Amino acid sequence: MNITIIGSGYVGLTTGTAFAYLGHKVTLLDIDKNKIDKLRKGISPIYENGLNNLLNEVKDNITFIDSWENFKPDAEIIMIAVGTPSKTNGDADLTYVERVAVELGNRIEDNSELVVVNKSTVPIGSASRVKAIINNILEERKVNATIHVASNPEFLREGEALFDTFYPDRVIIGVDSETAKNKLHSLYQPILEQTFISPKNIERPVGYSLPVLITTNPTSAELIKYAANSFLAMKISFINEFANLAEKVGADITQVARGIGLDTRIGTRFLNAGIGWGGSCFGKDTKAILYTAKQYNSDMKLVEATIEANYKQREVVIKKLQSILKVIRGKTIGILGLSFKPNTDDLRDAPSIDIIRKLLSLDAIVKVYDPIAMNNCKQQHPELNIKYEENAEGVFINSDAVVLVTEWDEFKRLPFIELGEKMNNKVIIDGRNALNPDILVKNGFIYSGIGRG
């Protein structure tokens, strides 16, 4: 199929690259010329597992354009994958989505029929909003075209976005016409039937069965996305609250999580206690659904508590440092990891930034290391007066405590015994329960995880 994707962020770019791999002809439009220049050279502007390789493999099926002037309204499907940031009141900001709708309205040609898909996470009613904007402009232009607007939310984890695109648990299609339904079914057919050969290094998992296709109306599809992210965020906030209690009563949260997770009604995933969730989605989406609920006078106490518990959880690290080191002013604290989770360079809503800010406000000296996210941090947070180290070792030298914030694999394999000798105080706060407490304690460290008794 011939498809156009508007927006080359995490969602647009990985989805577009995956569809190109599956044999569709993809045009990717982004008005950020810098990004498009890079993409034309085969370089991904974001760090995403396997993306650079796949981009180069599929270059015959994908065209990059950097302005609406070069847009041709001849695709069967147009996917909107632009950002929907939070407004200060928590509502999702639809400015970019609406701008795309206006551009489309100005460009769709007479006697055409086309399916416009909201791939971005958008509030309830956005499908009809986009349709109304386009149709109003068409009417003004006296253009006679049939527009179908569908909602097709994504469930991609950053870092694993290509894997999740090729091997999803389910595909959700929110449509209100047969045409939209049929077009989206054809688009997803190779994924729904798993008829493609796995790309190199993105192998089909053993035992993977076909994804379930749920065809529903656009509103249900929009709500599914918010419910999914709220539930996942709630699972993490839930286990974190239990972790805080476990610590007080002398229980080990990792065993509690396993003990409950093996009940298949609960499930073991998303029960890792730590300093809480971050990233571009959970915070934004939980706030946006709360805003919608308020508009309808509908209570969402669990979502409210999920958010509150999460941001409180980031303070746990500071409390632990205060309790172990007593005075923080003048102490040197090493931070391992900046990105909101491993295998990404994304710093949006990253707990690391809140923790660093708090430490600086307490007059600590802060040294950091992250394998990938340091450049982003320098650019996005020039206000942070911190020392960037060239490697993890630098974070330990002369530190009074080291805090593991992001559980990059390389941090789990550090030579802690050797590194401990270079510290002022052998204190480790393990914000992700990623390290082996027994070995550390045996070697003279004061170790404190989250909820580990």
Radius of gyration, CA atoms only, the chain: 24
Angle 351-361/315-325 helices, nearest 10 degrees? Answer: 40
Q: Specify the residue, 105 or 168, whose C-beta has the smaller distance to ligand UGA.
A: 168
- CB < 8 Å & 24+ apart, contacts of 183-189: 183/1, 183/76, 183/77, 183/115, 183/148, 184/77, 184/115, 184/117, 184/150, 184/152, 185/213, 186/1, 187/1, 187/3, 187/19, 187/24, 187/77, 188/213
Binding range to ligand UGA, per CB under 6 A, among 77-85, 181-189, 228-236, 247-255: 228-236
Binding range to ligand UGA, per CB under 6 A, among 35-43, 150-158, 175-183, 385-393: 150-158
Binding range to ligand UGA, per CB under 6 A, among 12-20, 49-57, 95-103, 229-237: 229-237
Q: Specify the residue, 154 or 370, whose C-beta has the smaller distance to ligand UGA.
A: 154
Q: Specify the residue, 274 or 449, whose C-beta has the smaller distance to ligand UGA.
A: 274
Q: Does 157 bind ligand UGA (CB under 6 A)?
A: yes
Q: Specify the residue, 218 or 431, whose C-beta has the smaller distance to ligand UGA.
A: 431
Rounded to whole angstroms, how far apart are CA atoms 199 and 54?
A: 8
- Do residues 120 and 7 make contact, with C-beta atoms less than 8 angstroms apart? yes
The β-bridge relationship of strands 25-29 and 2-6 is parallel
Q: Specify the residue, 109 or 315, whose C-beta has the smaller distance to ligand UGA.
A: 315
244-273 positions binding ligand UGA, by CB under 6 A: 270-272
Q: Specify the residue, 110 or 409, whose C-beta has the smaller distance to ligand UGA.
A: 409
Q: Does 83 bind ligand UGA (CB under 6 A)?
A: no
For residue 270, CA distances in Å to 9, 146, 450 come to: 25, 43, 15
377 classed as catalytic:
no
User: Position 215: which residue type?
Assistant: T
Sheet harboring 332-336: ordered strands across? 387-388, 365-369, 332-336, 401-404, 427-430, 446-448
**At 92, phi and psi to the nearest 5?**
-80, 135
User: Which residues have CB under 8 Å from 415's CB, separation 6+?
Assistant: none
Q: Specify the residue, 57 or 164, whose C-beta has the smaller distance to ligand UGA.
A: 164
Q: Measured from the CB of residue 279, what is the shortest distance to ligand UGA in angstroms? A: 3
Interface residue with ligand UGA among 158, 252, 345, 430 (CB under 6 A) is 158
Q: Measured from the CB of residue 270, what is the shortest distance to ligand UGA in angstroms? A: 4
Binding range to ligand UGA, per CB under 6 A, among 155-163, 176-184, 196-204, 389-397: 155-163
Q: Does 152 bind ligand UGA (CB under 6 A)?
A: no
Q: Measured from the CB of residue 274, what is the shortest distance to ligand UGA in angstroms? A: 5
User: Which residues have CB under 8 Å from 17's CB, separation 6+?
Assistant: 26, 51, 54, 55, 58, 62, 162
**By three-state DSSP, how is residue 422 classified?**
coil
Q: Which one is catalytic: 13, 281, 316, 321?
A: 281
Binding mask 269-288 for ligand UGA (x = CB under 6 A): -xxx-x-xxxx-xx------
- Do residues 6 and 100 make contact, with C-beta atoms less than 8 angstroms apart? yes
Helices (H), 154-263: 161-166, 178-193, 218-249, 253-261
Interface residue with ligand UGA among 15, 49, 229, 376 (CB under 6 A) is 229
Residues 162, 163, 169, 171, Cα dihedral to 10°? 20
The β-bridge relationship of strands 25-29 and 113-118 is unpaired
Rounded to whole angstroms, how far apart are CA atoms 240 and 398?
A: 31
Q: Measured from the CB of residue 277, what is the shortest distance to ligand UGA in angstroms? A: 3
Q: Measured from the CB of residue 271, what is the shortest distance to ligand UGA in angstroms? A: 6
Binding mask 108-127 for ligand UGA (x = CB under 6 A): -------------x------
Rounded to whole angstroms, how far apart are CA atoms 140 and 105?
A: 10
- Do residues 23 and 190 make contact, with C-beta atoms less than 8 angstroms apart? yes
Q: Does 341 bind ligand UGA (CB under 6 A)?
A: yes
Q: Specify the residue, 26 or 450, whose C-beta has the smaller distance to ligand UGA.
A: 450
Q: Does 162 bind ligand UGA (CB under 6 A)?
A: no
Q: Specify the residue, 108 or 404, whose C-beta has the smaller distance to ligand UGA.
A: 404
Q: Report angle CA 216, 221, 226 to the nearest 5 degrees.
A: 155
Interface residue with ligand UGA among 232, 317, 356, 428 (CB under 6 A) is 232
Interface residue with ligand UGA among 154, 247, 252, 370 (CB under 6 A) is 154
Q: Does 156 bind ligand UGA (CB under 6 A)?
A: yes
Q: Measured from the CB of residue 163, what is the shortest distance to ligand UGA in angstroms? A: 12
**By three-state DSSP, how is residue 94 classified?**
coil
Beta-ladder partners of 151: 118, 174
49-78 positions binding ligand UGA, by CB under 6 A: none
Give residues in contact with ligand UGA (CB under 6 A). 121, 154-158, 229, 232, 236, 270-272, 274, 276-279, 281-282, 340-341
Active site members: 281
